[in-house]
Amino acid sequence: MSGWFLTLSLVVALAAVHRPFGDHMYRVVVDKRHTMVERGIYRAVGVDPAAEQTWGVYARSVLAFSAVSILFLYLLLRLQDRLWLSLGMDPVKDHVAWNTAVSFVTNTNWQAYAGESTMGHLAQMSGLAVQNFVSAAVGIAVAVALLRGFAARKASTLGNFWVDLTRITLRILLPICVLATLILMISGTVQNLSGGTDVTTLTGATQHLTGGPVASQEAIKELGTNGGGFYNANSAHPFENPSVWTNWLQLFLILLIPFSLPRVFGRMIGQNRQGYAIVAVMAVLAIASIALTVGFETHGAGTVPQAAGAAMEGKEARFGVSGSAVYAAVTTLTSTGAVNSFHDSYTSLGGMMPMIDMMLGEVAPGGTGSGLYGLLVLALITVFVAGLMVGRTPEYLGKKIGAREIKLASLYFLVTPALVLIGTAAAFATGNNATALNTGPHGLSEVLYAFTSAANNNGSAFAGITVSTGWWDTATGLAMLLGRFVPLILVLALAGSLARQQPVPESEGTLPTHQPLFVGMVVGVTVVLVALTFLPALALGPLAEGLS
Amino acid sequence: MTAVLEKTQTRNTTKTIAAVRRDALPDALRKLDPRTQWRNPVMFIVEIGAVFTTVLSIAEPSLFAWLITGWLWLTVLFANLAEAVAEGRGKAQAAALRSAKQDTMARLRDGRVVPAPDLALGDVVVVEAGETVPGDGDVVEGIASVDESAITGESAPVIRESGGDRSAVTGGTRVLSDRIVVRITQRPGESFVDRMIALVEGANRQKTPNEIALNILLAALTIIFLLAVVTLQPLAIFSKAYQAAAPDSAAITAHGVTGIVLVSLLVCLIPTTIGALLSAIGIAGMDRLVQRNVLAMSGRAVEAAGDVSTLLLDKTGTITLGNRQACEFVPLKGVDPQALADAAQLSSLADETPEGRSIVVLATSEYGLREREAGLMTGATWVPFTAQTRMSGVDLPGRSIRKGAAASVITWARQHSAEVDAIVDRISDEGGTPLVVAENDQILGVIHLKDVVKPGMRARFDEMRRMGIRTVMITGDNPRTAAAIAAEAGVDDFLAEATPEDKLALIRKEQQGGRLVAMTGDGTNDAPALAQADVGVAMNTGTSAAKEAGNMVDLDSDPTKLIEIVEIGKQLLITRGALTTFSIANDIAKYFAIIPAMFAGVYPGLDTLNVMRLHSPGSAILSAVVFNAIVIVFLIPLALRGVRYRPSSAAALLRRNLLIYGVGGVVAPFLGIKLLDLFIQLIPGI
C-alpha cells in the first residue's frame, strides 16, 4: 500500500466516523443516568456518583487511583511466580517491575523487558491490559474535566472522576475493544491461553512459539494509545499484526479517539466549529509529519537505501517502507509507541521525525485525552500572544487568560522539555549514554529518543540502547511519572480556574479562534516552540548525521 | 484639545527634552544595580550573563570575548535606557505640576492661619479673590470664579459654587473673584496634584494584571532556553570527543562550548526585546493618557479600557449638543403661521435658556419677524418657567401667551383637540420636544425643539461596533424621544428616563453577562455607577464624590473622550502583543546564525544551516548578539509611541499585526544579521 493511499484512506475513514463517535463520547460523559453495572461498581467502591468534585478533589482522586494502580501492578509483577498462569516465569526484577508499573499506569508502555520471556498470562491480562484500559480512561477523563472547565459558568466543580473513569472504560473503550478483538482474531492475530508450542523449523531446529491472549491485548494497546506489545517485537510480530489489513486497522484504532475528542470539545462548549479548528491543527501537523517521514524514508540518503531504492533495513516486508513510515509517524504523533519497524534503522532525518512528533508534546492528535488537553494548552498560549495583538486582555472561548491561567499553561509546556533535556544531559554527564550501541550523532539520537519517549509518555524505543540497567529504569521511570502527572495536575488546576470564570460574550472585538488564520497560528506556535527548545540537541544528533 | 501638560511642555520644551536626555543615561546606569535589575527577570539573566562573560574575558582576554561582553552590557543598558526615557517624560510632567503647587497658607474659618500641607480632612477654610485654594475640597458657602489653568491648562475661568455638581475645587487653583468657604476633603499629602505627580512619575507603579501574566510567560520562555543551553554542554562535550580530530575553535573546545558562546546563545534566545521594552510600554501607555489630559488612577484601569465591551454615554453633551433648538413651528389648522411665530417669539423674549433663544432666532430668520427686546415691551408681565407650572410666557394688555409642556398648556387653555395630540405625538416620535403655544384660550400650534446630534457621531459609533463595543445612550428623556435620538445617532441601545439607580442596575446587568462597562459621570449621584463601572471616567468639573468614585479623571471634562480612552487601552495591549510576537519570531534567524557557528567545526554538514552564509563562527555569533542589542534601540520609539491602531474588527487587526510583527519578525533578523556580518567581518581577527 503506498503511503499516499494509506494516509488518504485513514483520513477518509476518520473524517467519516469522528463526528458520530465524538457525539457518542459526548453523550457518555454528560449522561445523567447510570447503568446497573455502574451503580453496582459505585456501591462496591463506596463512591457517591452524584458528588461533584472540585479540581483539587478530582486531581487527588486521579493521583490516589494511579498510586494504587502502580503499587498493585508492581506487586503483581514481583509475585507472579506464586500466582496462576505464570507459565513458569520468574518474578520480574525490582527495577524493571517499578519501571513497568509506572510505564503502564502512565499510559507510556515503555518496555524495559521482552514480553514473551518475562510476563505470564496473568500479569499480561489482569496487570498490563487492565492498565491499558484505565490509563487511557484517566487521560480522557482529565481532558473532559478541562472541557467542563471551558464550558462552565462560575462553577467550582468539574464532575466526578470515578464516574468518568467507570463510564469511559465501560461505555467507550470496552465495546470497541470487544469488536476490534474479534476482527483481529478473524484477521489472524493470535488469541489463546496456550503456554506455547514447540515447532520444528525447516532447517530442523526447534523453536518455541509463545501464544496467549494477544488479540484482546492488541485492541486496547492501539485504541488506548498505549503501545505496549505482547511480544518484544511489538506490532512487527506476525502474531500481533499479521497483515497489511491489520496494520491499517491498528492505525485506525490508534487515531480514532484522539481525532474524535475535539468533537466532544465542540459539543461541550456548544460551538462545533471550535472543535473543527482543533481537529484542523491536529490534521495539518499529522499530515505534514507523515509526509516528511515517508519522504525521508523513500528518498532517504545513504548508500544502501539509494542502492536498494528505499530504506528497507529494519522494516517488515509485508508493510513495506510506506506502511512502516506511516506507522512510525502515527505511533509517535499519538502517545502510543507501538512499533512495526525498527526506528533505529531509519534514515537520519526519517528517524528524527518520530522524535519531533513526540517533542511537539504529542498533540497531533496525541494520546487519548492527553493530546486534546495538550493542544488546548498550546491554543491558550497562542491566544495569549495573539489576543494581545487585537487589543484586548486575551480570552479563549470567553474565558480570560490572566496571570494564573498563563502560569499554569507555561508550567505545563515547561515540564516535558525540561525532563527530556535534563534526562538526556544527565545520561551523558553520568556516562550512562555508554549503553548506546552506537557512538557519535547516532548514539546521541538513541539517548535523546529514549528520554523524549519516556517524558512524553510515548513508550516507543529508537532501540539500539540497553535501557534495562538500574540507572535507566529509575531515570526513565521518573521521567514517565513526572511527565504524566505534573502536566495532568496543572491541566486540572487550569480547568478549575477556567470553570470559576464567567465567560465574556463574543463580539466583533473577540479574537476569532475558529478561522484558518488561528489554526495556522497554533501550528506555528507549536512548531516554533519545539524547534526553539530542541534544535540545539537535534543539531548534534539526527541533523549532524543527516546533513553530513 | 487643551492639554495642560502639552502646554507646560511647550513652555519648557527645550528644557524638558534636554532634561530627559540628560537624566536618561545616569538613570539607566543606576538601574544596573542588581537590586533594581532583578525586577525584570529577563534582563536580570542578561546581566548575570554579562558579569560571567566579563570574568571570562578577564581570565582569557580576546577581542571576540571583549566585543561580546561589551555588547551584552549594552543590551542591558539599552533596556534600562528604554525604561528611563519613558519615565523621564513623566518626570518632566511632574516637575511642571510641582511648579504649579506652591507653598500656600490656608486661612481657617476661625481665623487661624496654617501652612496648606498641615490641613486636615474636614477643615473649613476661607479663600478670597487673588488667593490660591490650599487643598481639594467642596465649596460650602459662596460662589466664585476660579482659574484652574494650573491643573487643566484651560485659561478661561470656571464658576464654583456651593451645593450642586459644581462645588468641587482643587488645591493649587486660584480664586479670581468673590469669596468662598471650602471644606477640605483630602488627607494631607493625598491631594489631587500629589496623586497626579505620583502617577506621571510612575513612583509606585504597580504591574498591571496583563503585564504580570506576560512576565510569567517570558519567565517561562527564559527558563526553557536556559535549560536548552545548559543541557547542551554534556552533548557538546560528547560530540567534540567523538570528532576529536576537529580543531578547537572560538566556539567549542574539548571542554565543550565556551562560556562566552553559551551566554551569547542564551541571550539571543531569551525574549530580550520584549523583556527590555515591557515596562516602557506600560509607562508610555499611561503617559499617552496624560497627554490627552486624562489621569488614570491605576494601570489596571487603562488595561480594562481596552477590554470594554459596553460604553454608557450620556446623551446630553456627549451624543447631542448640549441644548435643544427650535427647528419648526407647526400651526393648527386654520391658524396663520405668522401668528404662531409671533406668539412663540413674544413668549420667549424673556427666556434666556438656549432653547428660548433658538425660538426667537427661528422666528426672526424663517418668518421675517423683527427682533424685539424684552425690556422695551411696555406693560408686559413676564411669567417665568417653574417646575410646577412647566410653562412660561407673557401677559400683555389683552393678550396672554403661554408656551410649555403639552399637558400643562392644554390645561391652561382649557382646550383639547385630537389635532394637537397628533402633532405632539409626531414630534415626540421624531425625537423632538414639543412645546405647545397658546394665546388666551386658543391653542395656536406647537414648537418643535430638536436635539441636535453632534456631527460625526454616527461614524464613531459604527467604528465602535466594528471594534465589538456596544454603545448605550443614557438619557432622562421619555422612551419615545430617546428611541428617535438613538436611531439618529446610531447607538445600539438606550436607557430612557434614567435614574442613577437605573444606571447602576444596567451596569450590574451588563457585568453579570461578563461584559466590561465604561461610563462617564460628573454628579454626586453618578458616584455609585462610576464606582461600579470597570472604567469610570469622572469629569474634572464634577463633584469630588464623583472624582473619588471613578478610576480616571478627565481634566478637559469632555465626555466623548471615553472613546479615545478605549483606543489607548487597546493600543497598549496591541503594542505588548506585537513586540512579544516580534521577539519570539526573531529567534528563528538567530538559531540559523549560531547553531552552525557553534557546531559546523565538529560536524561540517551543519554548515548547510548557515543559510545567511555568514563570514565566520565569530562574526556570526557577534552579529546575532549585536542585532539583538540594536533592535531594542530601534524599537524604543515604537514602544513609547505605541503600535498604530485603527479601529477595526479583531480578525482584521490580527491579520495586519501578524503580518507586520510575526512575518516581519521572522524576516527582519535574517537581513539585519547578514548586514551586520558584512561589517563585522572587516574587523581583523573575527
* Element (DSSP H or E) covering residue B518: strand B517-521
Q: Do B573 and A405 touch (CB under 8 A)?
A: no
Which among B245, B596, B222 has a CA at the least distance from the CA of A536? Answer: B596
| Cell, residue B569 | 487601552
Residue B543 to residue B166: CA distance in whole angstroms:
6
Q: Which residue on chain B is closest to A510 by alpha carbon?
A: B650
**Mean pLDDT, to the nearest integer, of B608-614?**
96
B379: left (phi over 0), alpha (psi -120 to 50) or beta: left
CA dihedral B51, B56, B58, B60 (to 10 degrees): -170
Helices within B101-251 (DSSP H only): 149-152, 192-201, 209-230, 232-242
Helices within B34-191 (DSSP H only): 34-37, 41-59, 63-100, 149-152
**Residue in A385, A392, A425 closest to B234 by CB:** A425
Indicate if the pLDDT at residue B1 is higher than 70.
no
SS3 B168: strand
Residue A372 to residue B486: CA distance in whole angstroms:
47
Inter-residue long-range contacts of A182-185, CB under 8 Å, 24+ positions, other chains counted = A183/A249, A184/A215, A184/A218, A184/A219, A184/A246, A184/A249, A185/A215
B25-35 tens-digit pLDDT: 888 999 999 99
What per-residue confidence (pLDDT) applies to A87? 85
| Confidence band for B327, pLDDT divided at 50, 70 and 90 | confident
- What is the distance in angstroms between the Cα of B504 and the nearest Cα belonging to chain A? 20
Inter-residue long-range contacts of B44-49, CB under 8 Å, 24+ positions, other chains counted = B45/B222, B45/B226, B45/B266, B45/B267, B45/B270, B46/B72, B46/B75, B46/B76, B46/B79, B46/B267, B46/B270, B46/B272, B47/B76, B49/B263, B49/B266, B49/B267
**Residue in B213, B239, B649 closest to A444 by CB:** B239
Q: Which residue on chain B is closest to A533 by alpha carbon?
A: B228
Greatest distance between any 2 Cα atoms in chain B: 123
Q: Are A133 and A175 in contact (CB under 8 A)?
A: no
B393-417 tens-digit pLDDT: 899 888 899 998 888 888 888 887 8
What's the one-letter identity of residue B582? F
What per-residue confidence (pLDDT) applies to B407? 86
Identify any residues that bridge with B168 across adjacent strands, giving them in sequence order: B138
Question: Which of A150, A347, A390 is the best mutation test for B, with the most CBs of B within 10 A?
Answer: A390
Q: Please write down the HEC assignment for all residues of A8-68.
A: HHHHHHHHHHHHHHHHHHHHHHHCCCCCHHHHHHHHHHCCCCCCCCEHHHHHHHHHHHHHH
Q: Are A262 and A337 in contact (CB under 8 A)?
A: no
**Residue in A521, A524, A540 closest to B599 by CB:** A540
The conformation of residue A120, written as its DSSP 8-state character, comes to -
What per-residue confidence (pLDDT) applies to B8? 42
Helical axes A272-298 vs A320-333, angle rounded to 10°: 140
On whether any CB of chain A is under 8 Å from the CB of B242, the answer is yes
Let me know the angle formed at the C-alpha of B331 by B403 and B448, rounded to the nearest 5 degrees. Answer: 55
The conformation of residue B606, written as its DSSP 8-state character, comes to G
Strand order in the sheet with B310-314: B294-296, B552-554, B535-539, B517-521, B310-314, B470-474, B493-495
Residue B392 to residue B405: CA distance in whole angstroms:
10
| Cell, residue A8 | 488518504
| Confidence band for B6, pLDDT divided at 50, 70 and 90 | very low
Q: Do A540 and B603 touch (CB under 8 A)?
A: yes
Mean pLDDT of chain B: 86
Residue B116 to residue A399: CA distance in whole angstroms:
49
Of B135 and A6, the structure prediction assigns the larger pLDDT to: A6
Which among B171, B654, B146, B332 has a CA at the least distance from the CA of A524? Answer: B654
| Confidence band for B21, pLDDT divided at 50, 70 and 90 | low
What per-residue confidence (pLDDT) applies to B18? 52
Inter-residue long-range contacts of A84-87, CB under 8 Å, 24+ positions, other chains counted = A84/A122, A85/A120, A85/A121, A85/A122, A85/A125, A85/A193, A86/A120, A86/A121, A86/A122, A86/A123, A87/A120, A87/A121, A87/A195, A87/A196
Residue A413 to residue A522: CA distance in whole angstroms:
14
The conformation of residue B659, written as its DSSP 8-state character, comes to I
Residue A90 to residue A386: CA distance in whole angstroms:
57
State the pairing for strand pair B470-474/B493-495: parallel
What per-residue confidence (pLDDT) applies to B20? 56
Indicate if the pLDDT at residue B102 is higher than 80.
no
Let me know the angle formed at the C-alpha of A117 by A116 and A122, rounded to the nearest 5 degrees. Answer: 65
Q: Which residue on chain B is closest to A444 by alpha carbon?
A: B235
What per-residue confidence (pLDDT) applies to B15? 46
| Confidence band for B14, pLDDT divided at 50, 70 and 90 | very low
- What is the distance in angstroms between the Cα of B415 and the nearest Cα belonging to chain A? 53
Q: What is the number of CB-based contacts under 8 A between chain A and chain B?
A: 221
For residue B530, what are the CA distances in angstroms to A435, B170, B519? 70, 20, 7
Q: Do B514 and A515 touch (CB under 8 A)?
A: no
Residue B409 to residue B271: CA distance in whole angstroms:
74
Q: Do A417 and B224 touch (CB under 8 A)?
A: yes
Q: Are B473 and B342 in contact (CB under 8 A)?
A: no
Q: Look at the block and give the residue holding cell 508450542.
A: A197
Q: Could you list the pLDDT tens digit for every one of the 548 residues in chain A?
A: 578 899 999 999 999 999 999 999 999 999 999 999 999 999 999 999 999 999 999 999 999 999 999 999 999 999 999 998 888 889 999 999 999 999 999 999 999 999 888 999 999 999 999 999 999 999 999 999 999 999 999 999 999 999 999 999 999 999 999 999 999 999 999 999 887 888 888 888 888 888 899 999 999 999 999 999 999 999 999 999 999 999 999 999 999 999 999 999 999 999 999 999 999 999 999 999 999 999 999 887 666 677 776 788 889 999 999 999 999 999 999 999 999 999 999 999 999 999 999 999 999 999 999 999 999 999 999 999 888 999 988 999 999 999 999 999 999 999 999 999 999 999 999 999 988 888 899 999 999 999 999 999 999 988 888 888 999 999 999 999 999 999 999 999 999 999 999 998 888 888 999 999 999 999 999 999 888 899 999 999 999 999 87
A271-314 tens-digit pLDDT: 999 999 999 999 999 999 999 999 999 887 666 677 776 788 88
User: Quick check: bond before B34 cis, omega within 30?
Assistant: no
B637-669 tens-digit pLDDT: 999 999 988 888 889 999 999 999 999 999 999
Contacts of B233 in chain A (CB under 8 A): 425
On whether any CB of chain A is under 8 Å from the CB of B465, the answer is yes
Indicate if the pLDDT at residue B116 is higher than 90.
no
Q: Do B603 and A515 touch (CB under 8 A)?
A: no
Contacts of B214 in chain A (CB under 8 A): 384, 388, 406
| Cell, residue B650 | 479583531
- What is the distance in angstroms between the Cα of B652 and the nearest Cα belonging to chain A? 9
Contacts of A150 in chain B (CB under 8 A): none
What is chain B's length?
686
Identify any residues that bridge with A208 across adjacent strands, giving them in sequence order: A198
Q: Are A119 and A466 in contact (CB under 8 A)?
A: no
**Residue in A392, A411, A504 closest to B306 by CB:** A392
Q: Which residue on chain B is closest to A507 by alpha carbon?
A: B468
Active site residues of B: 314
* Element (DSSP H or E) covering residue B653: helix B650-657
Contacts of B465 in chain A (CB under 8 A): 508
Q: Are A173 and A131 in contact (CB under 8 A)?
A: no
What per-residue confidence (pLDDT) applies to B100? 59
| Confidence band for B103, pLDDT divided at 50, 70 and 90 | low
What's the one-letter identity of residue A67? A
Indicate if the pLDDT at residue B600 is higher than 80.
yes
What per-residue confidence (pLDDT) applies to B459? 87
What per-residue confidence (pLDDT) applies to A265? 98
What per-residue confidence (pLDDT) applies to B4? 42
Q: Are A365 and A354 in contact (CB under 8 A)?
A: no
Residue A364 to residue A362: CA distance in whole angstroms:
6
Q: Do B220 and A410 touch (CB under 8 A)?
A: yes
What ipTM was estimated for this complex? 0.95
B476-517 tens-digit pLDDT: 878 888 888 899 889 999 998 888 888 899 999 999 888 999
| Confidence band for B579, pLDDT divided at 50, 70 and 90 | very high
**Residue in B574, B591, B655 closest to A388 by CB:** B574
Q: Which residues of B232-250 are buried (b: 16+ CB within 10 A; e: fewer)?
A: bbbbbbbbbebbeebeebb
